Amino acid sequence: MRSPISGYSRLTKVHKFSAAGIAAAGVAALTFAALPGASADAGTQSIAVKPVAWNAKALGVEDQQEQLGKQSDNAAKLAKSEAEAKQKAEAEAKAKADKERADKEAASRSEERKPVQAAPAPAPAPAKKAYSNDLDGWIREALDIMAAHNIPGSYDGIKRNIMRESTGNPQAINNWDSNAAAGIPSKGLLQVIDPTFKAYHVEGTSWDIYDPVANITAACNYAAKTYGSMDNVNSAY
């Protein structure tokens, strides 16, 4: 069915462009007419057009450059700050590691060089008891040695037998009894023969049969084995 306007169809693209061109030409003609001194012959008249002043500030370029400059400076400062912070952190970590290593090495050296605790000094030996160099001193020293070896005997029992056998002479010797006749005379304070002295010698005393302390202890050791104690001897033994 055709449109209300009979005999017309729709405009094609060519028609539309033609109409637009005609409209533009009309606008241009009006513009030239409005200008002073304009004539129909556009080709023979020069139109005075005032130049437009263009600059970076007018277009806002300068502001943009300033903004970009500030952004670049800020980025550089931030990068520098981050680099300094990283460098500081690395230096602190290195210092900490160095200190820990130094402390560990110092502790190790201290352990290696730890002085060995010296053994306690031995207790000083008790002062040797002093005895007089006479019959009383000989008997008392002999009694102390006998006590250390569990050999019985008393001061009085020992002295009584000494006085009977040798009258207290440590160099006494019997050259007339049966022992002497057998070639083994009795000797010393308690008149002990050599075989008996050697058999009953008490450790820590002299091996000299004429030594008064050695003679007393050997004789008392023999009397303890034979009679129970020198205290039980009341005659020659």
* Four-CA torsion 117, 121, 122, 126, nearest 10 degrees: -160
- pTM of the entire predicted model: 0.49
Looking at the structure of the chain, the number of domains it has is 2
Q: Is 3 within the bounds of a domain?
A: no
Same domain, 164 and 217: yes
Q: Comparing 68 with 211, which gets the higher pLDDT? A: 211
| pLDDT score at 118 | 67
At residue 19, the pLDDT reads: 44
Q: What is the pLDDT of residue 156?
A: 97
Task: Please check whether residues 99 and 153 belong to one and the same domain.
Answer: no
* Residue-wise burial string across 129-150, b where 16 or more C-beta atoms lie within 10 A, e elsewhere: eeeeeebeebbebbbebbeeee
21 vs 112 pLDDT, higher one: 112
Instruction: Write out pLDDT tens, residues 9-55.
Output: 444 444 444 444 444 444 444 444 444 444 444 444 444 544 544 45
Residues 83 and 156 occupy one common structural domain: no
Which whole-number Å values give the CA distances from 212 to 49, 54, 79, 234, in the listed order? Answer: 159, 144, 107, 20
> What confidence score (pLDDT) does residue 107 get?
75
Which structural domain, as residue segments, surrounds residue 217? Answer: 135-232
Rounded CA-CA distance 166/168 in Å is 5
Residue bearing the bigger pLDDT, 70 or 101: 101
Residue 173 lies in a domain: yes
Give the chain's mean pLDDT: 77
Neighbouring-strand partners of residue 173: 187
Considering only 46-55, 163-172, 176-185, 208-217, which range has the smallest mean pLDDT? 46-55
